[in-house]
Amino acid sequence: MLDEISDASERGQRFHDFMDVRFQLHQWQRESSRNSQKSLKNSYLRFLRGWLFDSNSIEGAVLKGWVESRMGLVPTFHREAIRSVDSETYYRYLVERMKGSARTSAILSQLDLLFVYVQYELTRRYPGQTHLTLYRGLNDLNEHRILETRDKHQLVMRLNNLNSFTRDSERAWEFGSRVIEVAVPLAKIFFISGILPRSLLKGEDEYLVIGGDYDVKVLIG
């Protein structure tokens, strides 16, 4: 069906309509209990909004949990640095992840389909392309795991399992005293804030990127 639609906004609306029917998101008002209403009402959009507002929120923990579940990447930061899966910080992240997942019906399955849709859209928007150059503002490089220093501008860095980036290098400077430039494989882009109609999800030009080890260029203003 999507192959026949040329307008990206319409494709986004069709995707949401499919999710609405597939997970019965529109039926929350018919449920008799408050918990059942919340379970249906808190759809994948709720978790995306939560991340865009605060990546260290309970919703952020659920999205990081999806990456950990599907990609095997443990988060390195949630509210504070996570040094080990045996740490108290990792346990607190797990508690928030479980609390958030309990809020809605089949949230991991919803996020699976969202990721598949985003990957489809990327092939439509960037045919034949394998990477996008994205930027992220940082205040302290030492808060991140630097695996290798090639020179003062070229590093190998282990990023959190899910991260916010932008395509606008100037905008990235609003979020830190340094900016990192990364060639991100399209296959590691989980979400783009403008990929759905604005009536569904308002947000800036934000890219949610699955983490791991990256070659990073450090830009200094």
Report the 3 state secondary structure along the chain.
Answer: CHHHCCCHHHHHHHHHHHHHHHCCHHHHHHCCCHHHHHHHHCCHHHHHHHHHHCCCCHHHHHHHHHHHHHHCCCCCEECEECCCCCCHHHHHHHHHHHHHHCCCCCHHHHHHHHHHHHHHHHHHHCCCCCEEEEEEEECCHHHCEEEEECCCCEEEEEEEEEEEEECCHHHHHHHCCEEEEEEEEHHHEEEECCCCCCCCCCCCCCEEEEEEEEEEEEEEC
Over residues 3-14, the pLDDT tens digits come to 999 999 999 999
Phi-psi region for residue 192, left (φ > 0), alpha (ψ -120 to 50) or beta?
Answer: beta
Instruction: Return the amino acid letter for 219.
Output: L
Q: Tell me the backbone φ, ψ of residue 110, rounded to 5 degrees.
A: -60, -45
pTM of the complete model: 0.91
Residue 152 confidence class, pLDDT cut points 50, 70, 90: confident
For the chain, give every domain's residue range: 2-125, 131-220
In this structure, what are the phi and psi dihedrals at residue 139, rounded to the nearest 5 degrees?
Answer: -100, -30
pLDDT on residue 141: 80
Here the tokens at position 57 are 């929120």
Instruction: Give the model confidence (pLDDT) of 10-44 as tens digits.
Output: 999 999 999 988 888 865 445 444 444 444 456 89
pLDDT one-digit tens code per residue, 167-192: 999 999 999 899 999 999 999 999 99
Q: What pLDDT score was predicted for residue 105?
A: 79
Give me the pLDDT at residue 41, please. Answer: 56
pLDDT at position 33: 47
Query: What is the number of other CB atoms lying within 10 angstroms of the CB of residue 202?
Result: 12
Of 57-61, 83-87, 140-144, the range with the lowest mean pLDDT is 140-144
Does residue 81 contact residue 88 with C-beta atoms inside 8 Å?
no
